[in-house]
Structures are given as C-alpha cells and as structure tokens.
Chain A
C-alpha cells in the first residue's frame, strides 16, 4: 500500500466517530434504495410468475349459456389453445346467527380439470363435493368461518342453504377479500342447483395459443370466437380482455414501488449531502497539509486521489452495511405487499443485477458527492495553503446579513453567540437544514395526508345520509319492499333507487342511478351547477369520475343517452364531487318509473342506530321480512363496512409516509451530529481562547447546544412553511395515483407541534456529544490545536 493510501485510511481512523456517522447515514440511504430495488425485482418477478402459473384467461366472454359442444367448436379455432366455461353468482353468506356478508360464488364444472385461471388448493377438500364450499384464503376473515363450519348461503334466485366449508384455496387473480369486504366461494354445479339456481355456465374463459401478451392479437381472436358464438345463436353480451400477462394489481404495485424508489433515491441524495459536509470540512482542515504535499511534489490529481480514496472507503463501508439491511428490508416490503395483494412469494432470491446496481450506486454516490469539495480543496494555491493558519477561515461580518445578526444580539450570551455562529459556515448550514427540514416535511406531510384522507372519506361518507345499502338481483315492486321495511324495527328513512347502465356510445358505458329528486339520503357536494330537484324531468347530474372519463360532458349541455334499448335526451344540470367513486350519472327516478312503474332494484336506509351490532340486527330482520315478501337481496353493505375497506387501502399510504419520514429524519439527525462535530472541531482553538478568558466548560457546552437547537428550530421553521404545499402535492400524487380521486386537503396542526418537539430533541441529542467533547477539552489542548 502506498503512503497516500495510508494517509487516506489513517485520516479517517483519527476521525472515526464522525466517519461512522457518515457511513451510517449513507448506509441508511443505500439500504432504503436496495430494499426498494430488491423488492421491485422480487415482486415483479413473483407477482407475474405466480399469476402466469395460473394460466390466466386471455379473454372472458359472457354468453347466455355454454355447453361442451360449443367449447369443442371454439377449440377448433387454431388460435385458441384452451376454452373453459364458468359462472359467477353473487349472493350472501353468514357463518353465525346474524350478519350476512356479500358473497361472490365461482362455479366450476370440473375442479379436476381446471386449465384456465387455475386455483391453488391449500387445505381441506379438493375438489369441493356437492353441498360443500371452498373459501379463498383471504376471505376466511371476512366470512368469520373456518374449515368444517356450516355456513348459510343464499343467491339471487335460490333459497337459503347450508353448505359445509370444506377447504381453503388461493385464487391469485382476486383482490384481497379483506379490503373488498367480500367472501369468495367456490362450488360445483350440483351445489349451485342445491342453492336453487339454474345449472348453466355463462362465462367463457379462453386462452390464445400464440402471442399471449399481444392485446391486439387477443382482441382479434376474441372477436373470432364472438362471431362463432353468435353464428350459433349465442349472443355475446360482454367481452373482457385483462392486461395480458399482468396481475390485476401489477399497476398498483408499480405505482407504490415507483414512489418508494423515488424515496430511496431521495434518501441517498440526502446522505450524499453529509458526504459533501464531511469532506468539505476535512478538506478545509487539511488545507495546509495539501499545501505541504504540493510543495513536496504532489500534483493536484495525486492529492485528490487521497480524498477520493476516502470517499471510496465511505462508499464501500456503507455498501457492506447496506446489503444485508437492504435484503432484510426487501423481505419485509415483499411480505407486506404480498399480503396486501394476496399472493405468495416462492423465492426471495435477489437478482445479481440488483446487487451490482446497489454496489455501483453505493460506491458512486459518495464519490460524486465528494467531487466538488475535493475539486475546491485541491485547487488552493500552494502559497495560500502553506500560510493557512488552520482555523476560522470564514470572515464573519463582511456582509449586510452578518451586520444585521450583530444588531440582533445585545450583550454577549451563549445564545447570541450561537445565532451568529450558525451562519459562519453557510453552505454547511444550508445542507444540514436541507436534511433536517426534509425529515420534518415528510413527517408533516404524512400527518397532513392522513388527516386529508380522513377528511376526504368523512366528506364522502357524510354526503351519504344512509347507513345501509341493499341491492336486489331483480327489480321488485316498491310496495312489497315498503311492507318489509315497515315490519323492520330501527329504520328511520328508506328510499328505493334504481341502478342501470347508460351509454353515450356503445363503448362508453357507465352507471346510471335513478333516485327520488327530493332524496334525503344523498347530499353530494356540487362542483358546478346543482343537484336534481322537484320538477326535474330530463335533468342529469354527472359526478367528477364521469366528467374525467368523458371530458366533453359539461354542465348546461344536452346529451343523448342510451338507457336499456331506448335513447333519450338529457340536460346536464350539475357536476357533483364524489371521491373514489366510479363514473355515475344521476337522473330522476320518475324516468325509470315510467318504464317500470313501482319497481326498484336498490334500497337505501337510514337507521336509528348505526353501530355495528344494531346494523347487523336490522340487516337480519329486514332480510327475513324481505324474504317473506318474496324479495331476494343480492347483497348489502353498511357504510361502516365500506368505510373499513377504504381505511385499509389508505392505511398503507400513511404507514409508508411515516416510515419514510422516520428514515429521512434519522439521516437529518446524523447530518446535524456531523455538522455540530465539524463546527466544534474547527473552532476548537476559538473555544480555547474563550476558556482562557474565563468561559467555564458549562458555558462552552451551552454555546454548542444552543447552536444545535437553533439549527433544529430553523429547520422546523422551513419545514413548517413548506409543509402545506408539499403535503398537498404528495397527497394528490399518491392518493390520485392509487385511487384516481382528489384529496380534500386539510392541514394537521398537531404535526407542527410534534415535529417541533422532535426537532428540538434531535438537535439537543445531535449536539450533546460534540458539546460535551468541546467542554472537556483543556485550554492548552484547544490553543495548541491546528
């Protein structure tokens, strides 16, 4: 090893405490980056692999009914590698005496020969026998049942029937049941008959033979199958082509990982700032040594190499620490995402390219960060470097700002001294403030986004004045429903609504909700125009989701809408705000009543009590009374259940932001500690002078602590000023990307207070050690320091 390398290592060794701090800070950044990168590699590989292993359908076609002969004909198409019929039936399920849960039943003809969209049996019976039901693994918690339980199931047209929960399956393609608050069940055709439904299959899953990831090709093949079906007298009502080869949640995963990657890079950037600070200080303290090296023949590049060597050491040490941390972090992240997306990770193996990239980024970052201080430090002319007297090279008092600071302070006190001192190394101050303020900003943004999410949901649910929504499989006479309501205790208000499909053109379908114009159970916030009111006949209100989907729709315009088979003319009278809602148009119920007098297919109920148990009792009682009237509910959901689902989705964003702020805050704290220790080191002789003229160790200690606290408070002020706009942007971006909805922003003042306390604590903690060291240095040591 040559002497310059020895110098590089020993210089760091002599300042090992500070070196460790900077290595830790960089390691934090690289660990965050490595965790996200590895999680990205694992998740994208495992998610799509797991999904592709199920042989997902290339396209799903809905027809009246499908039989084996039809399947055989479809399979004659060379482009179709497989075709399999299924059926999806909605209904309700309950495990205990009360509390019906929404149920989606998947009916498969032959569980022994599932070739498309395969299920993975996990425990218990396989296939399900007649009278048995398998439940998706994540749905057990929703169903509140376990294997071996008897559950009661009812579908739209059948009767209540007890089924045995005989096993657990994993259906990779389904969303997490807990978040959707729905039970996924799997039965055979004979069980479907037991439930009182007709034993037919109406959903055709096909897989194309070639170009499986080519959407255009799939569309073409699906079109050919459609033509064949219709030529045989089986009209196709709907075709769904899922994104080829992609798990339904892969987009969401991508957005989350993108957000996390940005964060990883951001933390890396912040830790780079610490390298800039450390090396700037190191270079400043070694100006004379640089001069000597130049004087004895060292070229600028030879000297720069010593300091680049130190930056390289920082990078290598940080990478060594970061890789195991990153692997652990990526596992935690993968497990969390896998739970959220309901899929299994078979291998946590991190691809080699991730390690390589982490090593390259980890080593390159400190080198890049070090480039400027090294360039600057080695540029000092030899004569200037040799005459450097080692300390306090900054000239305080040279500009108007310094003079202003001087005017601010009265008589000498540690506080006045601290205020002036923090502005001596301005570049360092700015970089330190940047890291500390970033921590505060993220923390406040986390609280603000959370508060805004809650506010948005509160307003959204506040607009819905009903506690329970019941949907029917078919339209029923209102008079029968009214009787059931009258016989049910605890209902204070009820309205019959009618939901149907509307379309501007054949491919632009959306939900049309017909409701009483004087509805008391919906009070939407209007962005433009007004809501429906008595006397309206052809008035239509659109929500913001529909306006976003069809930008041509504007308040005041008249449009032609196809509802059912008839076309009618409507005037858009208002634009309503509905967070996280599908595209909906609201029209007067009278319009539907003219076509189907006295009929309704959906019920909205306000209850006297809206606690969980009371709602359950009302649901159970109403269901019984509706059955007595011959009315079959397809499903029901309380506001509380729906809200729970939303809260679960939002919790993830909140946790992400809080974890983020904790990591950024830690980098900030390490940055402050580094800054304070550099400040103390550089002013050691000055402190010796202070001690020589009578300052006690306590005063010196107080001075340094005050300086740290001032920086903390300054960082808090910056974070507080930026918290509002940054929180709004972060909130809109995250929530908007995930749920395609805006945020009703609200500022959380608690965040300001909490971060002030955190800032003060972090600053005090960060400056404690440097302050203590400064106060313990003897006058002789301090004055002799170069």
Chain B
C-alpha cells in the first residue's frame, strides 16, 4: 500500500540545513493500523506529510497504492489526495465559517466523488458514525475539542479514502475523549482502511497493529 524508499527531507533554514528525514525506508500494508511514535521534532509529521503528498522528499521515492506521488504536480497531487487520503490534524482545522456537515461535504465537492444530492446525506451518515450526528448544523466554534476532532475524522472519511493519516489526533484532547477517537481509528482499520497515526503518546499500543519509532529523522524501530 505505502512504500517509502530511501526518503530524505532537508530544509533550508536561517541556521543552516536541517535534516528532517534521513534515508527512510518504510512499507505499510493495506488495512494496517500503524502508529508512528517519536518525540516532538523527531520527524513524525514530515513522514506523514510525505505519505500524504503534502510535502515532497528531497530524495527518494514515495509510492502509495502503486502511484509514485513524488512525481505529481501540485494540482494533480491535490486531486489524488482528495480521492485517496483522509487527513486528520492535531488542531482539527475545521473551516470556521462552515457547519460540521458542510465541512464534511467540502472534500466531496472538491472531488465531485458523489452526486450532489447524495453529499449531504452521506455527510450526516458519517457524522452519525463518529458520534456527532446531532451537531451536523453547528459551526465548529460551538463544538468541544473532542466533537471537533470527530467532525474532522468524518471529513477525512468523506471520499471513502483507502488511507487515513492522522497527525497527533489526540494531542489536544483529554484522555477519555482521546480514547474514543483512537477507537474510531481502530474501527476504520478493522474495516480495511489503512491508518497511520503520528503521536508521541505511549498509550497508543492498545489500538495499533504496528509501531514505528522515529528519532532525529531516522526510523529506529
């Protein structure tokens, strides 16, 4: 499903060149639930960005479902991402002027993946699935952190992507809410969706299939 071959990422900074990833080789099978664990600044988010096509490697190759995404142009990458990747952020990143349902509809509008009339129904179903169906017409500002993250997960699932990536999805939530969110991801993986979560929290072990530990841009375990 996902293959990273000798992927390195270097950033030019005022303080000099910074290596975020160094010669990373990683393979993740379809339907696998992988936790990428590491300290803050270890390269977890960069690794996820590489898989999502949000960032490009300085060297090496990234292949997702047989597609070499590092060769795509920006627009093609966005369209590919819309169909194939669901992304969940630490700070939820819901669009503040759209309701919960509209936030979920947005990827469908971008990807034109479902007929126009079905999108609303599907969004409501997804919100129901993640437990926030009753908040469909509320704006993000009126929802709690946990509710917002559930809406963000529903949004990630909008186009039925085979791959869901989550960058510190529970980092901003209390432990009970976080546990609920992790269970949602576990459910997705069980149903065949490949899930990769970047986290620095140790208690993720109970839900994931495999743990990948990263330190200073190098996969150590």
B-contacting residues of A (Cβ < 8 Å)? 2-4, 6-7, 10-11, 13-14, 288-289, 292-302, 381-383, 386
Contact = CB atoms under 8 A, between A and B. Distances in A.
Contact of A298 (B55, B78, B86, B105): B78
**Residue of B98, B105, B158 most packed against chain A (CB within 10 A):** B98
A288 B93 CA distance: 8
Interface stretch (B33-41, B106-114, B204-212): B106-114
B81 A3 contact: no
B106 A299 contact: no
Given A295-B54, A382-B55, A300 B81 contact: no
Interface string B78-117: 1101110011010001011110001001110111000010
Contacts of B116: 2
Interface in B44-94: 49, 52, 54-55, 74-75, 78-79, 81-83, 86-87, 89, 93
A383 B48 CA distance: 11
A4 B82 CA distance: 15
A383 B105 contact: no
28 contacts: A2-B116, A3-B102, A3-B105, A3-B109, A4-B109, A6-B98, A10-B98, A13-B97, A14-B96, A289-B95, A289-B96, A292-B89, A292-B95, A295-B54, A295-B87, A296-B87, A297-B110, A297-B159, A298-B106, A299-B78, A299-B110, A300-B75, A300-B78, A381-B55, A382-B49, A382-B78, A383-B49, A386-B89
Given A2-B109, A10-B97, A292-B93, A300 B52 contact: no
A298 B110 contact: yes
Contacts of B109: 2-4
A297 B77 CA distance: 8
B81 A7 contact: no
A296 B81 contact: yes
B150 interface: no
B89 to A, nearest CB: 7
Given A299-B78, A300-B78, A383-B49, A11 B97 contact: yes
B155 interface: yes
Interface string B127-147: 000000000000000000000
A386 B54 contact: yes
A784 to B, nearest CB: 11
Contact of B52 (A13, A289, A295, A381): A295
B55 to A, nearest CB: 4
B86 to A, nearest CB: 8
Question: Looking at chain A's contact residues, is the secondary structure mostly helix, strand, loop, or mixed?
Answer: helix
Contacts of A381: 55, 74
A303 to B, nearest CB: 9
B75 A301 contact: yes
Contacts of B87: 295-296
Given A299-B110, A300-B75, A381-B74, 10 more contacts: A7-B95, A289-B93, A292-B93, A296-B106, A297-B78, A297-B81, A297-B111, A298-B110, A302-B110, A383-B49
B145 to A, nearest CB: 13
B78 A4 contact: no
B7 to A, nearest CB: 15
A6 B105 CA distance: 11
Interface of B: 49, 52, 54-55, 74-75, 78-79, 81-83, 86-87, 89, 93, 95-98, 102, 105-107, 109-111, 116, 155-156, 158-159
B55 A383 contact: yes
Contact of A296 (B55, B75, B110): B110
Nearest to B87: A295
Nearest to B103: A3
A308 to B, nearest CB: 16
Given A296-B82, A297-B78, A298-B82, A6 B111 contact: no
Please list the 9 inter-chain residue pairs (A to B) with the smallest Cβ-Cβ separation, ordered nearest first: A297-B82, A10-B97, A383-B55, A382-B54, A292-B93, A296-B107, A298-B110, A297-B110, A299-B78
Contacts of A4: 106, 109-110
A294 B98 contact: no
Nearest to B86: A296
Contacts of B86: 296
Contacts of A386: 54, 89, 93
B89 A299 contact: no
B51 to A, nearest CB: 12
A714 to B, nearest CB: 31
B110 A6 contact: no
Contacts of B78: 294, 297-300, 382
A783 to B, nearest CB: 15
A7 B95 CA distance: 8
B119 to A, nearest CB: 8
A2 B55 CA distance: 29
A368 to B, nearest CB: 23
B79 A299 contact: yes
Max count, chain A CB within 10 A of own CB: residue among B79, B93, B97, B159: B97
Contacts of A296: 81-82, 86-87, 106-107, 110, 155-156, 158
A293 B110 contact: yes
A10 B98 CA distance: 8
Could you say which of A288, A295, A298, A300 has the most chain B C-beta atoms within 10 Å of its C-beta? A295
A298 B54 CA distance: 12
Contacts of B156: 296
A487 B46 CA distance: 109
B57 to A, nearest CB: 12
A284 to B, nearest CB: 16
B29 to A, nearest CB: 24
A381 B54 CA distance: 8
Contact of B106 (A288, A293, A300): A293
B156 to A, nearest CB: 8
A13 B49 CA distance: 33
B83 to A, nearest CB: 7
